[in-house]
Amino acid sequence: MNSQISQIIELALAEDIGAGDVSASLLTNEVVNAKIISRESAIVCGVEYAQHAFSTIDDSVDVVWKVNDGDEVSENQTLCLLKGQSRSIVTAERVALNFLQTLSATATQTRFLVDKIAHTKAQLLDTRKTIPGLRWAQKQAVKCGGGVNHRMGLYDCVMIKENHILAMCSIGSAIDMAKNRYPKLPLIVEVEDLNQLNEVLLHDGITRILCDNFSIDMLISAVKTTKNKTPLEASGNIDEHNIAKIAQTGVDYISTGSITKNIRAVDFSLRIIE
């Protein structure tokens, strides 16, 4: 079990249970059968989290999964079958479902947008706009949905944005300092217009150029100007309505925070089987 998963599950259970599950204490603690079903179509993610929620409460609860992360499920499809003490199952239920619903939401929204650009070369990237404490989990969900991970945090990639450029007076000085101080890290530079793009192209060693809030015409010009010298990423105000047109400009990547922050939990339900 990944230590990150263990830690986050334990925190979630502690938050939910506190001094004890008073409602579960009312039950006759007998062995029951249960199942988790999907109330709608979705891309599943979070199996390991849900599994760990049940096993942390009671490792004698038997969970037989009928799906894996990345699988597509339909309405009324069974995700897993459970057998164990009734108190243990209902105590772990909400935490297990919360992870399944949230991570599956990210995977499902990712797949929805990935399908819209499947006819192009563009790949869908996530961002750092994740639910606090769920960065690693949501980025795994993005991969389940067919997306690609951007930087994990502020430590694994140098990303020069508008405020960095303003604070350091110029794009060139920011790029030079980044390359000198962190020569082994990826370097991404954000540009806001074609003039800045041309300035960045004067420098070698750039991993990717991020075109922030470019219009379709500007993206087409950027692709022509770059001539495959440096990969281009489009970002800013991207949604299901314009993502295909943006991908068709020829950019290499499209990043959007919507797949991790503007999500709707998938409707999963746990029911004890009579």
Q: Which of 190, 208, 233, 252 is catalytic?
A: 190
For 168-193, b where at least 16 C-beta lie within 10 A, e where not — what string?
A: beebeebbeebbeeeeebebbbbbbe
Q: Which of 243, 273, 264 is nearest to 42 (CA)?
A: 264
Bridge partner list, 127: none
Q: What is the end-to-end Cα distance of the chain in Å, rounded?
A: 32
Q: Which of 58, 71, 212, 267 is catalytic?
A: 212
Active site residue 129: yes
What phi and psi values does residue 217 have, to the nearest 5 degrees? -60, -40
Q: Which of 66, 161, 179, 261 is catalytic?
A: 161
Q: Which of 129, 135, 143, 179 is catalytic?
A: 129
Active site residue 212: yes
Q: Are 25 and 263 in contact (CB under 8 A)?
A: no
Provide the sign of the torsion angle of the four alpha carbons 156, 160, 166, 167, taken in this order. positive
Active site residue 227: no
Question: Distance (Å, rounded) from C-alpha 233 to C-alpha 266?
Answer: 29
Q: Give DSSP secondary structure letters for 26-62.
A: GS---EEEEEEEESS-EE---HHHHHHHHHHH-TT-E
Q: Which of 83, 94, 116, 179 is catalytic?
A: 94
Name the residues annotated as catalytic. Answer: 94, 129, 161, 190, 212
